Structure 1
Amino acid sequence: MRPSAPDVFAPGHLGELTQVVPFEMVDAALEAGGGVQRRVRRLPSRVVVYLLLAGALFGSVGWSGVWSRLCAGLGRPVEPVSASSISQAMRRVGPAPLKALFDLLSGPLPVQGGADRFASRRVVALDGTLIAVADTEANRAAFPKSRSGRGSGAGYPMIRLVTLLAASTRSLLAAAVDSDRVGETSLAAGLIRAMGPGMLVLADRGLASTGMWTLIRSAGSDFLTRVRTGTSALRLDVERVLPDGSWLSNARGTRVRVIDARITPTTTTGPERTGHWRLVTSLTDHRRAPADQLVRLYHERWEIETAYCELKSALGAGRVLRARHPRGVLQEVWALLCAYQALRTAMADAVLTSPGTDPDRASFTVALTAARDQIVLAQHITADRPDLTGPIGTAVLAALLPPRRPRTRTRAIKRALSKHRARTPHPDRTTYPVTITTHILTPHPDP
């Protein structure tokens, strides 16, 4: 095993993932974010960055425990550091270098055979989520709790995270973080810079607005979003009905195409509740983007929901963030996103070595477990043969998930809020194979 770095820099590694986040990249991020130390200490800034990244991979372990894991396989004695020393070093580095590191790591990852495209456009998803932070006075001041509704003031302070994600590999293209008082649409508007020509943005009803559509089109991208129906629906007059049942309309100056569809899932227990979808897209050519294909494509939007589950449940272990101060919260969030992107990069590289393998079959949990093992062992920090699939990729390819099948499960609360038995009947949480029937509803234009 080659040493990671001499002397006090030795604990600064991420196991095999150091090949994805090399020393030079971390040093460049520290330079860009103004986090380089004035003198070399027991905890140099580079080591602090790797400690933060490792902490994201060991979400349920305290910082002292993360430090011991970084030092466990070095094969040399490392002087222990106190929790207060770690906290001071993290404050010295600050959040800016982690944000700069994310900017270096973020971006689409390669896939085989154009599997990430539809109608020659890269399919991406845009959405937001909330993350709980430690309930301290400093965090409450920066991230105030909700003051409206039942139970206001209860629970944890929250931050809002909005990301732009490649649907095929679930790699992050851009991200924005702020208090949950800042709306999802406002944060999403800041990610327009990451969009560009040849991109198709999928979004849900919360981000469906004429203003957002205008911003996406101004970046040269196209969009496919679901919109509300009923009394609160945006008025979309029928200008011309197309052969596939969709119709052209004008949404306050933006030329759009509207698809009304009736979705009926059928399982072995019989037909489920039929849903009504209304999709709006800037892809007006029905020959290159037929309505039924767009309805199926919209299911890819759930890839970003899966990514948020991986971020908060697999990496974060379902816990609140550790940081007790706002700058520490931002630092920890950017470290979490960097670690996620590094792990996704290793997974995508592994899939590329297996022709014909769908990226969906790569298990995030398997990759995370292998990455943790390599950190503890301090192995494969540098690569003599960079083209060889390492232990993470080997573990992923040896435990590929089965091809994704259409399945459904009734949406129900999985974790009870009370220890007492509910009076309502116990919901059926069985997962059933499902056949989805899509019927495009053709409108009748007004005379």
Structure 2
Amino acid sequence: MEHDELTERIAMGLILRTFPPELVDLAVSSCGRAERRSRLLPARTTVYFILVMCLFPHQGYARVAELLNEGLTRARLVHGPRPVPTTAAISRARIRLGAEPLAALFKEAVRASPTPPMSVNHYRNWKVMTAGLTTVALPDSPDNRTHYGLPAAYPALGDPPCADSDNGVLPRIHVVALAEHDTRTIRHAVLERPPTRTAGTLARELCAPLKSGDLLLAGEGFLDPATFAVTRANGADLLWRIHCTSVSHDIAHLRDGSRLCTLHDHPRKVRVIEPAPPSQGESMMPTLLATTVLDHEAAPAAELASLSQHRWCLRGSLATLGPGTPQVLRSRWPDGVEQEIWGHLLVHHAIHRLLYV
């Protein structure tokens, strides 16, 4: 057996084991996409097609369909050889399915995944979660350009400029995700959906599942005042980067070197920590750490600074899926874009579940 064929078989087995037919059918039926008549590409098969497409993003539709056919046959989920559907038939099946079943499957897969031991993802008395943001380039189709517009930075999320020297200026979709600190397993994600989900609503919706006992690590600019208020109302604590000019005035200096302060855009008292100087090659931007954990004995400054240095990055985490991860998605219409994003998040979930659980 050739090496590539073995890799493909292992990858297909991982997808079918992580997302068994009953889980896929549950997600499909919960969104009202179950078939009323037999089709060459029923909803379940279309979901698997999208997952395989994201697993092998540089393969054409025909080859993805062949890989799926082979995998379903080996798993005895179909009987006998099946004709390879045309590109037009696949596109129609994707349009019928929509994006919602993929989002529902992600939620069900997260709910069904085993819980790591208590020693994992924890710092002292907190469960550590980390927030990440990335932008994904899209094909410059009329539908994508009309829906998402041309790229523009999202200052409320601390988003970098979207111009890409390799891909030109393309429409972009913003994705934010919440992951476990140690396992890097994504537990919740929110996708931009203009005009209802904009910069501020993305972060607020992402932080809604946080609860008492959680400690959220976030980057500079991620927590606007409204997001801060939502997160604190749920009882979660925060540790995030701020610019040195954000400090309004000092209230008290603590024995571990941190200090109690107020910030210009946050009326509540926070604790500010000066992290270690950046190593060679890192940004020299003068930043500080702010946290809602005011007790320096419960969480010493040096420990929080060390914790922050290992903050998860969504862009980098998706890039670790391999050289096949696309720089630009293939979907030329918004529902297909969302399908594809959820497909990549589901593939990420399958691989990290294998690695860390």
Same fold (TM > 0.5): yes
User: Could you tell me which of 171, 178, 190 is aligned with 1:176?
Assistant: 190
Q: Distance in 1 between matches of 2:152 and 2:269?
A: 39
**Hey, what does 1:196 align to over in structure 2?**
211
**SS of match in other structure, 1:29:** helix
- Partner of 2:271, secondary structure, is strand
Asked if the contact 1:170–1:304 (Cα under 8 Å) also holds between the matched residues in 2, the reply is no
Q: Which amino acid aligns with 1:245?
A: G
Cα deviation digits, residues 315-360 of structure 1 (max 9, x gap) = 75333111111111111111221121122112223xxxxxxxxxxx
Tell me what 2:90 maps to.
Answer: 86
* 1:134 has 2:148 as partner: no
Residue pair 1:158, 1:180 contacting (<8 A) in 2 also: no
Counterparts in 2 of 1:294 and 1:201: CA distance versus 1, 3 Å? same
Q: Is the 8 A contact 2:247 2:262 kept in 1?
A: no
Q: 1:150 to 1:242 in 2, by over 3 A?
A: closer
Task: Report the residue type matching 2:301 in the other structure.
Answer: A
Secondary structure of the residue aligned to 2:136 is strand
CA distance in 1, matches of 2:282, 2:17: 48
Structure of higher CA gyration radius: 1
Give 2:129's aligned residue.
124
Residue 291 of structure 2 corresponds to 281
CA contact (8 A) 1:224 1:280 kept: yes
Deviates more, 1:117-126 or 1:100-109: 100-109
AA aligned opposite 2:248: L
Residue ranges of structure 2 left out of the alignment (5+ in a row): 1-10, 75-79, 154-160
- Which whole-Å CA distance do the structure 2 matches of 1:25 and 1:211 have between them? 36
TM-score by length of 2: 0.83
Shift of 1:272: 8.6
In the alignment, is the contact (CA less than 8 A) between 2:14 and 2:350 conserved in 1?
A: no
Shift in Å at residue 24 of structure 1? 0.9
Does the CA-based 8 Å contact 2:215-2:239 persist in structure 1?
yes
Give the deviation of 1:276 after TM superposition.
4.2
Q: Which residue of 1 aligns with 2:175?
A: 161
Alpha-carbon contact 1:164-1:173 (below 8 Å) kept:
yes
Preserved contact between residue 56 and residue 315 of structure 1 (Cα < 8 Å): no
Matched, 1:322 2:334: no
Q: What is the match of residue 34 of structure 1?
A: 32
Matches for 1:26-425 after TM superposition, within 5 Å: 26-72=24-70, 74=73, 76-106=80-110, 110-112=115-117, 114-146=119-151, 155-178=169-192, 183-229=198-244, 233-251=245-263, 252-263=266-277, 265=279, 276-310=286-320, 314=322, 317-349=325-357
Local SS of the residue matching 1:294: helix
Q: Which amino acid aligns with 1:65?
A: R
Tell me how far 1:156 sits from its aligned partner: 1.5
For 2:309, the aligned partner's letter is H
Distance 2:174 2:284 in 1: 32
**Aligned counterparts of 1:272 and 1:199: Cα–Cα separation in 2:** 29
Deviation of the 1:194 alpha carbon: 1.8
Q: Answer whether contact 1:163 1:175 (CA < 8 A) is retained.
A: yes
Q: What residue is the counterpart of 2:6 in the other structure?
A: none
For the residue of structure 2 that corresponds to 1:36, the secondary structure is: coil
CA RMSD of aligned residues (A): 2.8
Counterpart amino acid of residue 269 in structure 2: R
Q: Distance in 1 between matches of 2:274 and 2:356?
A: 35
Q: CA deviation at 1:150?
A: 11
Q: CA deviation at 1:58?
A: 0.6
- Indicate the percent of aligned positions where both proteins have the same amino acid: 29
